[in-house]
Structure 1
Amino acid sequence: MIKKNLSLWVLSLTTFFLLACSNGSEASRDAKPALAPASSESYIKIAQPVRTSDPNKIEVSEVFWYGCSHCFSFEPMVHAWAEKLPSDVVFVRSPAMWNELMVTHAQAFYAAEALGVLDKVHQPLFDEINLKKNPLRDRDAIEKVFLAHTEVSAEDFRKAFDSFGVKSQVRQADARARSYGIAGTPEIIVNGKYRVTGRSAGSKANMLKVAEQLIAQERAAKK
């Protein structure tokens, strides 16, 4: 009976993470045939453009969640792609959140940035949830990941995680996502003007191709 209950719990948790990649209106999944990059159907124009971090650069923002299996599989692709972006493009990440668990994970992301260890814990946070099936429900669970992969002390981690600065960034990220009109994860936002999703582009690989076309479009508009 215990074994049966445990199996049901694991199945329920897995289902929760799969469903949570969407906020209920649109899932970013590879369900459609690939569309021609930058065609009017391959992206969604944001009605009211959102201010970017640097007006002198073309900003590409990945909206993601550590608990999203689509984001987990997309991460190696977008990481390699972002490494090769030209100097006039800035790549940023912005965590999505439409429940309390996602808010907690957003705090983990910004705490890692504040402590200068995002490069050391970004993938482990993904792995912990998607491979080890550890939901990282609270600060204590997340702390163990930081301690295992960085030299940060428990005290410094807790100070950063609970800091006003980190919580302020979480609120700003939530406000941005609402302004973008995010419907699922992952999504790519180009220069605060265009949303690119797996559904609109046709596949995760096409999301990056569409983003490249929109970058070129924005670059041409600056001339």
Structure 2
Amino acid sequence: MRILKFILTAALAGAIALSATASPTDPKNGVEYKTLAAPQPVDTGKKVEIIEFFDYACPHCAHYDESLNAWVKKQGDNIVFKRMHISRSGTDLPQQKMYFTLEAMGLLTQDLHTKAFNEIHVNRNPMRRDEQVFEFIAKQGIDKQKFIDTYRGFGVAGRVRKSVSMMDAYNIDSWPMLAVDGKYMTSPTMADAEKQSSTTEAQLHEKVAQVLDVLVAKAKAEKK
């Protein structure tokens, strides 16, 4: 009986050790992340630039937002965090223009960013039409006419064009996707590329945080 207990204990310890080594503490290029063939310029000095490519209409982006915010807060002064709303070729995206309008007006708080996700995915308001966006904005206590004027202005149109060019430069074909210092790309799905079928979304978020930690450290070392 003692021998059987010893064998079971040893087996359990081995399983725990195997589980520990399975975490992406040493992510592989081409698997948990990829390196851009053409590095993109950054303007963040000694700090590491992180860009999230996202879509308000994407449920995975909405689910990831809280975990990503926690990771950004944990990184603190190591990084400069930016977001870029994706574009879709030949399609006008009012949600995207809303994001760039709020950004241009200096009103894009994390609270409002979360409310936009909730409006689409919890309240089931897709905001696929301009009028739906304007109604949502008015409910937030924002000057509706000023918002509309900015929304329809050249500045926002320029941001949409920039989104298209950045997606091309970073080879963005799915989201959420994260760019690390203009060199490395990863995502919750990529972070567990070899074991997707048995992983929950919450576990994917945890694993991509581990991959990002490694890539930030790598990028920071390369700046020295």
The alignment's TM-score, normalised by the length of structure 2, stands at 0.78
Q: Shift in Å at residue 99 of structure 1?
A: 4.6
Q: Shift in Å at residue 103 of structure 1?
A: 3.2
- State the alpha-carbon separation in 2 of the partners of residues 205 and 104 from structure 1: 31
Task: Give 2:147's aligned amino acid.
Answer: F
Task: Give 1:139's aligned amino acid.
Answer: D
1:196 to 186, 190, 193: 186
SS in 2 for 1:198: coil
Unaligned runs of 5+ in 2: 1-21, 193-203
The equivalent of 1:25 in structure 2 is none
- State the alpha-carbon separation in 1 of the partners of residues 129 and 90 from structure 2: 10
Q: Shift in Å at residue 100 of structure 1?
A: 5.5
Task: Give 2:191's aligned amino acid.
Answer: A
Taking only aligned residues, the RMSD between alpha carbons, in angstroms, comes to 1.9
2:114 is equivalent to residue 123 of structure 1: yes
The equivalent of 1:186 in structure 2 is 176
Task: Give 2:214's aligned amino acid.
Answer: Q
The equivalent of 1:211 in structure 2 is 212
2:54 is equivalent to residue 64 of structure 1: yes
Q: Aligned ranges for residues 1-150 of structure 1 at < 5 Å?
A: 35-40=24-29, 41-99=31-89, 103-119=93-109, 120-149=111-140
- State the alpha-carbon separation in 2 of the partners of residues 99 and 165 from structure 1: 19
* CA distances 1:193-220 after superposition (whole Å, capped 9, x unpaired): 1110222201222222211111101111
- State the alpha-carbon separation in 2 of the partners of residues 184 and 164 from structure 1: 27
SS in 1 for 2:134: helix
Task: Give 1:39's aligned amino acid.
Answer: K
- State the alpha-carbon separation in 2 of the partners of residues 96 and 217 from structure 1: 26
The alignment's TM-score, normalised by the length of structure 1, stands at 0.78
- State the alpha-carbon separation in 2 of the partners of residues 88 and 135 from structure 1: 35
Identity of matched residues, %: 25
SS in 2 for 1:195: strand
Verify the 8 A CA contact 1:63 1:93 in the aligned structure 2: yes
SS in 2 for 1:38: coil
Rg comparison, structure with higher value: 2
SS in 2 for 1:106: helix
Unaligned runs of 5+ in 1: 1-32
2:151 is equivalent to residue 155 of structure 1: no
- State the alpha-carbon separation in 2 of the partners of residues 101 and 141 from structure 1: 17
- State the alpha-carbon separation in 1 of the partners of residues 37 and 80 from structure 2: 22
SS in 1 for 2:50: strand
